[in-house]
Amino acid sequence: MKKFNLFLITFITVSLLSSCAPLEEFLEAYPITDDLTEVETKVETKVEEKDNTASEDEKTSEEDDIISVAEDEVKPEEDSSYTNLGFDFEELGVKPYSYSSGSFELSDNLKEAIVEMFASTKNWKNSDAWKSEWEESFIDGFILNSWYSPDYIASKSVVTKEEAEYIQFSLTGERIYFNSDEEFFFKTSDSSSPFNYTYMESYYITEAQDSYWMEAVFVTQYKYINDDGELDIKEKSEKAAVILKENPYSCFDGYSIDKIFIKDSKSDDNEEELFKLLGLIVDEGGLTNQNGLIDYLIAYNLGENISTKTITDKDGSEYTLIVKIPTEKLESFYKEVLGVEKTFEPGELSDDEVGVYCDDDGYCYGINTKGYRNYMVIDSIDKQEDRTIVRVMAMNEELGEEIYTFEFLVYPAKNEFGYSMNE
């Protein structure tokens, strides 16, 4: 009985120390009693009664066992990978995070950090924290942001250099020293940020061996002046993968962001969607490599999704049709944008793995039995009077890493698409 009571005291103490929540929140979550002093008194009384029947050696042995167990539960600070970081965690008011044995739960604090990181970086990996431009980007997004601040500094009017470095470490898992004097500090009253608004529309999370993988849909609202000179709003929806790793000293509820990379995006900006399609075509060899894949890319990006429909070719092979586009529009895109005369005849199957099947109903249908997937990110668009320079980033979807970037030119044109690849 004594061992149980001492363990109860130790458990309550350890739980309080390892939690970031104040005492009131702890008692609400674990309502043992309204009077914590009364519990301690009762436990001590029972211990004394037990002591009357135990020898001094037995008492010492039992107490040593209990202390040993408690110390094992709260010793992550002894891990040299954290103690050698140069942070005074006690002065920073930081205790190691205690992970529950249950399923992962996304807290509002971590969720908001992910959204802000996505809004600031789009595609990011933790090694990017070592790039020269990261410090300024981080300060703008996480320290001096008038729309958002981490819970750790939500009530602070001044943020010290060490506190800012600690938040950066919490966010990325990388220990970076900022290029400023030790006495330097940030005044949150100096905060400013753009008017774009991003939120997480939906997400689901799966557990990996040493991390958590999140698939999330982010929606960004942009304010702009339309052709009538009025303030208007447009939205862009993007699907991204987020990889989270445990970091017991992170103020973002025990996790750091390892990677973020866009998997797919859909914008109501027709120009951007067109440039993304042209980027895919250029990346696949452009007009020098006309094949069924180019047909499929055009159909997939300019057509519309359809309910499952199948066809059987002359050899008896069955294909699932997943998207359709008017044959006239497909041919027009080749002619007006790519500068190629190409016709699609009814009954024609452009490729037996990835391509289009054209029917006599006036539509061509996209076919993809190969499982081809590729995606690119528009990095920048430099619009000039007589031409537009489009810069595209090609990504490795599985690793979430940049493979290469390239640029191409498009020219304004009086056609239904607005641009042409030919001057």
Give the H or E element holding residue 403.
Answer: strand 401-412
pTM above 0.75, yes or no: no
The rounded Cα 11 to chain-centroid distance in angstroms is: 35
DSSP 82-132: HHTT---HHHHT--PPPPPSS-----HHHHHHHHHHHHHHSSEEGGGGGST
Q: Residue 262: its pLDDT value, please?
A: 81
In the structure encoding, which two tokens stand for residue 143, read together? 């320290």
Give the H or E element holding residue 321.
Answer: strand 318-326
Q: Residue 41: its pLDDT value, please?
A: 29
Alpha helices by DSSP H, 155-231:
161-172
Which distant-in-sequence residues (6+ apart) come within 8 Å of 127 by Cβ?
174
Which of the listed ranges 99-113, 179-193, 229-243, 362-376 does the model predict with the highest average pLDDT? 99-113
Q: Residue 399: its pLDDT value, please?
A: 64
Give the residue from 333, 342, 419, 417 showing the smallest Cα distance to 383: 419
CB 240, CB 263: distance < 8 Å: yes
Q: Residue 105: its pLDDT value, please?
A: 84
Strand partners, 382: 389
Question: Structural domain boundaries of the chain?
Answer: 2-74, 103-265, 284-368
Q: What is the mean pLDDT of residues 265-293?
A: 78
**pLDDT band (50, 70, 90) for residue 18:** very low
Give the residue from 269, 247, 272, 273 showing the smallest Cα distance to 258: 247
Residue 191 reports pLDDT greater than 50: yes
List pLDDT tens digits, range 255-278.
Answer: 999 999 887 766 667 788 899 899
Q: Residue 90: its pLDDT value, please?
A: 92
More confident residue, 86 or 16: 86
Mean pLDDT, the chain, rounded, equals 77
DSSP state at residue 348: -
Residue 176 reports pLDDT greater than 50: yes
Q: Residue 180: its pLDDT value, please?
A: 76
Which distant-in-sequence residues (6+ apart) come within 8 Å of 149 by Cβ?
142, 143, 188, 191
Q: Residue 168: its pLDDT value, please?
A: 96
Query: How many CA atoms within 13 Å lie on the side-chain side of 140?
Result: 10
List pLDDT tens digits, range 218-242.
Answer: 998 877 666 677 777 878 888 888 9
**pLDDT band (50, 70, 90) for residue 17:** very low
Q: What is the mean pLDDT of residues 371-389?
A: 79
Query: How many CA atoms within 13 Å lie on the side-chain side of 8?
Result: 16
Q: Residue 305: its pLDDT value, please?
A: 82
List pLDDT tens digits, range 139-172.
Answer: 988 998 888 889 999 888 899 999 999 999 999 9
Residue 400: how many CB atoms within 10 A of its CB?
Answer: 20
More confident residue, 184 or 299: 299
- CATH code of the domain made up of 103-265: 3.10.450
More confident residue, 75 or 266: 266
Q: Residue 273: its pLDDT value, please?
A: 85
**pLDDT band (50, 70, 90) for residue 336:** very high
In the structure encoding, which two tokens stand for residue 397, read together? 């979807």
Strands 354-358 and 318-326: unpaired
Give the residue from 206, 21, 176, 160 showing the smallest Cα distance to 98: 21
Tell me the C-alpha distance between 265 and 301, whole Å. Answer: 11
List pLDDT tens digits, range 350-373.
Answer: 877 888 988 888 999 988 877 766
